[in-house]
Structure 1
Amino acid sequence: MAANPASEGGFGIYVHWPFCSAKCPYCDFNSHVRHQPVDQARYAAAFERELSHFAELTQGKTVQSVFLGGGTPSLMEPATVERILTAISDRWSLDQHVEISMEANPTSVEANRFKGYRSAGVNRVSLGVQSLHDTDLKLLGRLHDADTARKAIEIARSTFPRLSFDLIYARPDQTLASWEAELKDAISLAADHLSLYQLTIEEGTPFYNLYHAGKLKMPDPELGAQFYELTQKVTEAEGLPAYEVSNHARPGAECRHNLVYWRYGDYVGVGPGAHGRLTVGVNRMATAIERHPETWLEAVEQNGHGMIEFAGLSEEEQGDEFLLMGLRLTEGIDLKRFEAFSHRSVDPKRLKDLLDHGMVEELGDNRVRATRDGFFVLDAVVADLAA
């Protein structure tokens, strides 16, 4: 086991672009709509400065992945993306197989920018399709229609070496039969990766208010479980099995950046609202950045960074986080790494109880993973193992 157990999870950089053209009614991410054009050159300069701050803290690391998320990163001009990626390659060594992912919306304007993003260094795009039905796209507050999404997928497939797109299921009034047909349609369009999320009602969103006012009908939990089961069955049969609760890929096409999170590696988070986990010396640190874009911008211009939290994680917190992230993966977790983070062993009685109840299974070589039943109550499984 390495002296720094996080090093086995890899090292990535997350860049948060906080702006959107419109706020989706289900979204609780840190995203903001601005009706005046954003000064992209000024923001690019701020990203460069904040990246410099984190490069000082993480000297000697090699970047395996970069992820441009948001918000809507495809509202960035290709020149802005190029400045940010150049800033990263100037400050760190890049792995020869570095994955550089970018979230994009499938509107025609953004699809036309894809060649510029590819030239800037992006080699994997993740499209926020969400549905292949126009009525549902309208319900979800999306600005594109299904035809535009299909065209964007086609352009992305011809432009980038790797492509993923997102769909949301268990939508109001959706049937299992219609989801199965839509999912098979999506798989025929997909290259090698799909992110498939159940619609959840998050506090502070318009959907939350509608749901609690009785104006939005959601599937009951039993039907929700059937949607999940159907999703696993169809994707497995079509060669895109789940490698994480909501993510499906052909073997070898998993998102390397997200694996850094789930394998509990180190990652820098820059931009408004970004979070990070860094090993600095012998300490594992949690970082958080100011959420409000303009406040962040001023903070970076004054101080070189917009960090509002830089706190050491206790051994217990590291163990809990390692379990919570790693048990989302079908590859499961190495219990020796849990011991390295938490400096204690999993209680054998609790582990046996979870095994006996079919919540986890052993993979040999000191590895365990959550079963499909365990995925439904993952928080409880984690709490048991962590106790």
Structure 2
Amino acid sequence: MTSAGSGTLSAPGATLLPDTGEPGFGIYVHWPFCAAKCPYCDFNSHVRHKPVDQERFTAAFLKEMQTMRTLGGPKVVSSIFMGGGTPSLMEPATVGAILDGIAKYWHVPDGIEITMEANPSSVEAERFRGYRAAGVNRVSMGVQALNDRDLKFLGRLHDVADALKAIKLAREIFPRMSFDLIYARPNQTVEEWERELAEAISYAVDHLSLYQLTIEEGTAFYGLHKAGKLIVPDGEHSAVLYEATQEITARHGMPAYEVSNHARPGAESRHNLTYWRYGDYAGIGPGAHGRLSQSKVKLATATERNPEAWLELVERQGHGMIDQEMLGYDEQADELLLMGLRLREGIDLVRWQSLSGRELDPDREDFLIQHGFVERLGNSRIRCTPSGMLILDSVVADLAS
């Protein structure tokens, strides 16, 4: 890779820079298109039955980058993440142009993490090799289940054979890979999930994102659930599944470092750590969000969600932002608490106190400690216990009061 202003970015080696523990600065690029809309998905994803004009969208990505660079100033990039949607529907040339654009506007050191999400149904060996040559060194696969019955239920376009082929190919081409699974599916027993999770770990991945199925408003599953046609596990059964997840992953050397994310030591997602450690990030593309520090405030940005409307906005005014909010110290302190307590490492209390201008309420903190929901790490950090993670929203609300 090269520094800002060069306009080119070479494929990095297999060795990634070590995690410094700092929040870092990330670039998020949102590719909003999918081959099909999954019934559980409330992400900003759109199906188009005509080919997407990738050159036109690439030009718009680069133009919005320039605006974000102006807003946030010069920074050293610590991670890049291409999410969606289905970024693996992009041509390798599109990915290369986007990464070269990032290297033009910011300083991109060699060895940073560059992740791209991929769906097994859109994986091709030639395309994967093209992404690797463009600079991608980590792939995140949307596997979601390891049996064909549940893949069909979840609306996925791939079957288990496709998933295993994609995992094998990714292992051969990329230095690092992760894949997602969804659990707490209808009628799923603890024993079934334990077998499926052990199988997933056996595929030599170094990172797993394990999400409980949630019913989100606006999705196809929401209507079915509301009509009583889709029954998901109750809270008690979901908690048992969660606890089994923690036990199995820890036993296999992939403990949780965040509520839903598990990794072998050193393989944690650097980009997602930037979010949870409350670092800055530039959000590029339709429906992308960002956080950019400006002196004593942090600018929260949000762009137009509709891809074509976003495209027209960028071409007309240089960006697709429809919302910009200045976050003061109190708001930043609340966001730091909300994000940081998701992490096993917890939060730096000195940093939180410098933003909030106060200390945690000692009575509230003592109550949560006595009930086993939070714990101190020396005098400088606080974190949720495994029990606290089960009621994370309540813990955050208590501490923020």
Secondary structure class of the residue paired with 1:94: coil
Deviation of 1:149 after TM superposition, in Å, equals 0.2
Query: In structure 2, the residue corresponding to 1:243 is in which secondary structure?
Result: strand
Q: For the residues of structure 2 that align with 1:200 and 1:112, how far apart are their CA atoms?
A: 35
Per-residue CA distance 1:123-174 (angstroms, 9 max, x = gap):
0000000001000000000000001100000000000000000000111111
| CA drift at 1:369 | 0.4
Q: Which residue of 2 aligns with 1:226?
A: 240
Check if 1:336 corresponds to 2:350. Answer: yes
Determine the C-alpha separation between the residues in 2 that align with 1:61 and 1:111.
Answer: 34
The alpha carbon displacement at 1:366 in A equals: 1.2
1:279 is aligned to 293
Considering only aligned residues, what root-mean-square deviation do their CA atoms show, in Å?
1.2
Distance in 1 (alpha carbons) for counterparts of 2:356 and 2:125? 46
Question: Retained in 1: the 8 A contact 2:123–2:166?
Answer: no
Query: In structure 2, which of residues 86, 90, 95 is the aligned counterpart of residue 72 of structure 1?
Result: 86
- TM-score w.r.t. the length of structure 1 is 0.97
User: In structure 2, what is the equivalent of residue 125 of structure 1?
Assistant: 139
Q: Which residue of 2 aligns with 1:312?
A: 326
Find 1:198's aligned residue among 187, 205, 212: 212
Q: 2:175 aligns to what?
A: 161
Other structure's SS at 1:186 match: helix
Which of 149, 156, 166 pairs up with 1:142? 156
| Pairs within 5 Å for 1:178-327 | 178-327=192-341
CA distance in 2, matches of 1:35, 1:286: 33
Give the 3-state SS of the residue equivalent to 1:16 in structure 2: strand
Q: Identify the residue that residue 51 of structure 1 maps to in structure 2.
A: 65
Q: 1:146 and 1:238 mapped to 2: Cα distance?
A: 22
SS at 2:112 equivalent? strand
CA drift at 1:344: 2.0
Paired positions, count: 381
CA deviation after TM superposition for structure 1 residue 107, in Å: 1.7
Shift of 1:343: 2.1
Asked whether the 8 Å contact 1:108–1:152 carries over to 2, the reply is no
User: More displaced, 298-307 or 360-369?
Assistant: 360-369
2-structure distance, mates of 1:195, 1:90? 32
The answer to whether the 8 A contact 2:89-2:122 is kept is no
State the one-letter code of the partner of 1:268: A
CA shift for structure 1 position 342: 1.9
Matched, 1:176 2:195: no
Per the alignment, in what secondary structure is the counterpart of residue 287 of structure 1? strand
Match of 2:166 among 152, 177, 191: 152
Pick aligned residue for 1:353 from 367, 370, 387: 367
Report the AA paired with residue 232 of structure 2. Answer: M
| Cα distance in structure 1, aligned partners of 2:123 and 2:250 | 34
What do residues 266-325 of structure 1 show as CA deviations (whole Å, max 9, x unaligned)? 000010000011101222111101111000000000101001111111322111110110
The answer for the alignment partner of 2:97 in structure 1 is 83
CA distance in 2: counterparts of 1:233 and 1:191, whole angstroms: 18
Structure 2 vs 1, CA of residues 373 and 305 (structure 1 numbering), >3 Å: closer, same or farther?
same
In structure 2, the residue corresponding to 1:362 is in which secondary structure?
Answer: strand
Structure 2: any 5+ residue segments left out of the alignment?
1-20
CA distance in 2 between counterparts of 1:112 and 1:168 reads 28
Distance 2:400 2:140 in 1: 34
The residue aligned with 1:29 is 43
Aligned twin of 1:3: none
Alpha-carbon distance in 2 for matches of 1:111, 1:127: 14
Contact kept? 2:296, 2:328, Cα under 8 Å = no
Deviation at 1:94, TM superposition (A): 1.2
Cα distance in structure 2, aligned partners of 1:234 and 1:283: 42
- Mean alpha-carbon deviation: is it higher for 158-167 or for 306-315? 306-315
Identity %: 65
Note closer, same or farther for the CA distance 1:140–1:166 as it changes in structure 2 (3 Å cut).
Answer: same
Distance 1:275 1:122 in 2: 22
Q: CA-to-partner distance for each residue in 1:208-230, whole Å, 9 max, x for gaps?
A: 11111111121111000000000
Taking a change above 3 Å as real, the CA distance of residues 279 and 63 of structure 1, as seen in their structure-2 partners, is: same
Larger mean Cα displacement after TM superposition, 364-373 or 155-164: 364-373
Kept after mapping to 2: 8 A contact 1:290/1:306:
yes
Q: 5+ residue gaps in structure 1? A: 1-6
Question: Could you give the per-residue CA deviations for residues 219-261 of structure 1, whole angstroms, max 9, x where no partner exists?
Answer: 1110000000000000000000000000000011000000000
CA deviation profile, 1:350-385 (whole Å, cap 9, x unmatched):
111111111101111411100111111111111111
Q: Is this contact kept in 2: 1:267–1:276, CA < 8 A? A: yes
What SS does the aligned partner of 2:208 have?
Answer: strand
Which secondary structure does the structure 2 equivalent of 1:284 belong to?
Answer: strand
SS at match of 1:167: strand
Partner Cα separation in structure 1 for residue 350 and residue 361 of structure 2: 13
